[in-house]
Amino acid sequence: MNSTILILIYLAAALLVTGIPFLRVYLSLCYTLLYEVICVLFLKGGFGEKIKLQRDGSWQAANHAQSRFRKALIAYAGYTGTSLTAIGLFYLVSKGHYDSIIYFFISLLVLSLLLWIRNFFGFIWALSFVSLLAVPIYFRYELAIMHISIFLASLILIQSVLNSFQLCRQSFMRRKNPARTAVLAQGALIPAVVWGIVLLSQSLFTGYFIFKNILS
């Protein structure tokens, strides 16, 4: 099967699982953890921070930045970092380095378990995900490694676009709407609507860049 068609199938699959409650939470936490790790590294180099992953797919991380504007920049770094990660993952896919993608996620999960994840659910989730990824690596199931790698790359890209779209949608809500409190730069110097549009445009451009320059 043509690799581009296979990637399109997995992009559709990554989008489809967002409508399946258990799978949506279980898989989307992979993107959530990546986003939070980037934020914690950007905040204080990762030292002394905690990440708590929740059963509903949300998270709680200690963001000790005092300035609202700095908090916005840290969040922006998280969204931008996930988009750049998606580009890197698809580059590895295009070169056939499927093992590297699996090792990247295993390393991310193990490092997070050691340094940042500090709640029971998050610990169990990360441990289970590491175990699932380690099985095909250990037994050298090359076909499984390829399919899992492409799916993980597709998942990060789809989650990046969906989260940016959600953020952009929230930024247009009335200021008193509780959902709007999650908007990236509320209270910062730059209006939340501007941040929302910038992030959505950035994530869409990431998808365009991947197909135009890596997969074409």
Average pLDDT, the chain: 86
Lowest mean pLDDT among 9-18, 109-118, 167-176: 167-176
Q: What are 102-115's pLDDT values in tens digits?
A: 999 999 999 999 99
- Rounded CA-CA distance 72/192 in Å is 10
78-92, 135-149, 175-189: least confident range: 175-189
Instruction: Give the predicted TM-score (pTM) of the model.
Output: 0.91
pLDDT at 200: 93
Is 17:24 a contact under the CB 8 Å cutoff? yes
pLDDT-based confidence at residue 167 (cuts at 50, 70, 90): confident
Helix orientation angle between 142-171 and 21-44, rounded to the nearest 10 degrees: 80
Percent of the chain scoring above 70 in pLDDT: 83
Residue 20, helix vs strand vs coil: coil
Which of helix, strand or coil describes residue 52?
Answer: strand
Q: Give the pair of three-digit tokens for residue 67.
A: 């300035």
